[in-house]
Structure 1
């Protein structure tokens, strides 16, 4: 089960949406296991039932109960031995985590980090209330209050990195980084440095994720896909380059990939592609 919740106006410049995810082992053949594509967003996650583990690039990562993770540069797998898994999360806009917490987001890329490092002692009274709550919308409200406390009187200001992200989304990830830099009238070296600080990965890597997710959202739900046409539409002029990206982001080459095996991916990246719009 995947449910979305809206964000209060004051936090909308930083956070795209809140969500609840619930999985039950009875719905899987060999325990809870989901493959997830990189989304272009950072996440703050609060597990309230069960615990899961995760692997990325073939390496298992320790996942704290309450954790924050920056950009994901490859597909990753979450799995659990518990009968039921339940969590509430906040999906951050590309620069949202940096601007809210004033951190180098690249240190969070692919790494689930204990959120107590961001909130300190403020997490303790929150945890007591969160653990006692049983309703999803009230859990979301507690998370929102925690984030509002961190925000304080801070005011959001767009900068050239936000503009570059809008340009990438407008071109569906098919535009070149050099053309974006020219429009911004900044040096490419400075742009690369600030983008990685605020977003967590290189602009070319982010742009590739946006392009692939736009392509992926066009997949036929019945696996009747002409990958040659799709790859050409999204400016993959080299078939080997397309297969490489497909394997990196999906975990399988196109011929072996069957969307029906990935229920969450099918729901969140194809049926209702919630990660595509930078303004969401």
Structure 2
């Protein structure tokens, strides 16, 4: 039994939120590598999960046992690891657009770049409790969408940052439209600022450097092309997306998904890739 449903957010939230994803799966003791799509932070709420299920990072002490209905924040570069899932696995995901996290929390998004932790850890206790109470009291996630919108609209209304110097949203949109294939020198010249100034503002608002963010966008576009082509010529696709050689491509695969292109094709294009594919389709910008 597998079910994946995408819900668009309220229009007023579109500058901050890509949308909501509900995934319902029945899993029989699968242990598999996992990675979170890079470049977009998210709030993850487990609605149903076996108490013995957990995520494990390369550090043996880094196991995460999720509590039901508790919101977790997942950073743009959350680490790779292994999932140990048994039984029912229902999850509701709120996916931020690249600049949304900047307005969502106090401080720079850089503080959660590679982390996956409870929202309370970042001082968002009140919001976390509202979301937890909402999902605890509703059996069906689709009945929660209107209230999730209201909760997030109220939150963003109270914390949105106005009069931002060097707003990066238009730059990010252009990067997304061009699949990350854009010269940073071109942007700096257009903004009439130094590269250091541009990079500092970008990091503060997005949480990542502009160079890394462009690499992620390009890589996500490549993954989507791979998923849509069951018999890919990976070298031809690599050249299409601006990779100069095979080692260049391997470097990004190892950094962003923790495996070689060959291993990715074996694991993710044939089995258990529904969640990752749905995320990439709906949240690729």
Change (3 A) 1:191 1:23: same
Return the offset for 1:88: 1.2
Q: CA separation in 2, counterparts of 1:179 and 1:82?
A: 50
My pick for the range that moved more, 96-105 or 147-156, is 147-156
* Count of residues in Structure 1 that have an aligned counterpart in Structure 2: 271
Once residues 145 and 240 of structure 1 are traced to their aligned partners in structure 2, the CA distance between those partners, rounded to angstroms, is 47
Q: Does 1:228 align with 2:235?
A: yes
Kindly indicate whether the alpha-carbon contact (under 8 Å) linking 2:71 and 2:128 is maintained by their aligned counterparts in 1.
no
3-state SS of the aligned residue for 2:180?
coil
Query: CA offsets, 1:118-150, max 9 Å, x none?
Result: 432454354333212101112333332322221
Find the aligned partners of 1:10 and 1:63 in 2 and give their Cα distance. 34
Q: Determine if contact 1:215/1:231 at 8 Å carries over to the other structure.
A: yes
Q: 1:25 — aligned with what? A: 27
**Which segments of 5 or more consecutive residues in structure 1 lack a partner in the other structure?**
none
Contact kept? 1:164, 1:184, Cα under 8 Å: no
Structure 2: runs of 5+ lacking an equivalent: none
Answering whether residue 268 of structure 2 is matched by residue 263 of structure 1, we say no
For 2:88, the equivalent position in structure 1 comes to 84
For the Cα contact (< 8 Å) 2:72–2:119, is it kept in 1? yes
Name the counterpart of 1:5: 7
String of CA shifts for 1:186-245, please: whole Å, max 9, x gaps.
221111112112111111111001001112222265642212211111111122111111
Tell me the distance in 2 between the aligned counterparts of 1:56 and 1:183.
Answer: 41
Structure 2: distance between partners of 1:135 and 1:78: 28
Structure 2 partner of 1:44: 43
The CA distance in 1 between the partners of 2:255 and 2:182, in whole Å, is 21
TM-score computed with the length of structure 1 as normaliser:
0.84
5 Å-filtered alignment, 1:1-280, equals 1-26=3-28, 30-31=29-30, 33=32, 35-50=34-49, 53-55=54-56, 60=62, 62=64, 65-72=70-77, 76-77=80-81, 79-116=83-120, 117-124=122-129, 126-152=131-157, 159-219=166-226, 221=228, 223-256=230-263, 257-258=265-266, 259-264=269-274, 267-268=277-278, 273-277=281-285
1:44–1:172 Cα change, 3 Å? same
Question: What is the Cα deviation at residue 40 of structure 1?
Answer: 1.7
Q: 205-214 or 34-43, which moves further after superposition?
A: 34-43
Deviation for aligned residue 1:23: 2.0
Q: What is the TM-score when the length of structure 2 is the normalising length?
A: 0.83
Give the deviation of 1:62 after TM superposition: 3.1
| Contact preservation (8 Å) 1:56, 1:110 | no
Give me the whole-angstrom Cα distance separating, in 2, the residues matched to 1:87 and 1:266.
Answer: 13
CA contact (8 A) 1:2 1:21 kept: yes
